[in-house]
């Protein structure tokens, strides 16, 4: 198991792994009650497995990148520990729900397209699996309009349509998604 960067400046750590919790406790990043010790630097780190993804944010930008998480539980009112911690963190950002764009994997492209066409889900709910073909990667940010555009372009990529905008997004996906795509949308520093 990879060791966490326990010295990284973080706003939130969510982990259900006892070894990782022990590492953070030893580093003084968690108290015995499990409360997070927030740092001044705006870096968010959420982990639920051996992988950790730290991302440094531009001022005024709130982005959470969980791996193997379930942010949708927050919206559906789930009462598990991860959902409660995620809810608490997002509430601490004082963001209104429309400002929080959640990306959630759907079982199949057809299910997503149908739900979008029927208006069953808001455009801000975008399946990260369409972007990276990794169903366990979910992102949340504060730019629903940009993400809606990203989704439309991504559907174009899946459908094989060749447009300048589609090519630009496809090019962005050649690097690590959490950096290249979100940097292109101005959410992250290069």
**Mean pLDDT (whole number) for 21-27:** 62
Dump strand ranges (E) for 17-103.
Answer: 43-44, 55-56, 101-102
Residues in the chain: 190
Residues 6+ apart with CB under 8 A from 114: 120
Mean pLDDT of the chain: 41
Q: Do the Cβ atoms of 41 and 55 come closer than 8 Å?
A: no
Assess whether pLDDT exceeds 60 at residue 47: no
**Tens-place pLDDT, residues 115-151:** 444 444 333 333 333 333 222 223 333 333 344 444 4
**Mean pLDDT (whole number) for 143-164:** 45
pLDDT of residue 176: 35
Smallest CA-to-CA distance from 138 within 146, 147, 128 is with 128
When pLDDT is cut at 50, 70 and 90, the band that residue 46 belongs to is very low
Q: Pick the residue with more confidence: 165 or 16?
A: 165
* Helical axes 144-159 vs 109-117, angle rounded to 10°: 130
């Amino acid at each position: 198991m990879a060791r966490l960067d326990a010295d990284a400046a973080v706003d939130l750590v969510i982990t259900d792994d006892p070894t990782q919790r022990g590492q953070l406790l030893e580093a003084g990043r968690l108290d015995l009650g499990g409360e997070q010790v927030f740092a001044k630097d705006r870096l968010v780190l959420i982990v639920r497995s051996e992988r950790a993804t730290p991302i440094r944010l531009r001022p005024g930008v709130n982005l959470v990148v969980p791996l193997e998480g379930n942010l949708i539980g927050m919206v559906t009112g789930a009462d598990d520990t991860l959902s409660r911690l995620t809810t608490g963190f997002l509430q601490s950002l004082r963001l209104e729900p429309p400002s929080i764009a959640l990306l959630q994997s759907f079982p199949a492209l057809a299910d997503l397209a149908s739900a979008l066409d029927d208006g069953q889900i808001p455009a801000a709910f975008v399946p990260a699996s369409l972007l990276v073909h990794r169903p366990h990667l979910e992102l949340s940010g504060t730019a629903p309009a940009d993400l809606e555009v990203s989704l439309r372009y991504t559907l174009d990529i899946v459908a094989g349509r060749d447009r300048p905008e589609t090519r630009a997004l496809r090019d962005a996906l050649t690097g690590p998604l959490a950096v290249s795509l979100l940097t292109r949308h101005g959410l992250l520093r290069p």
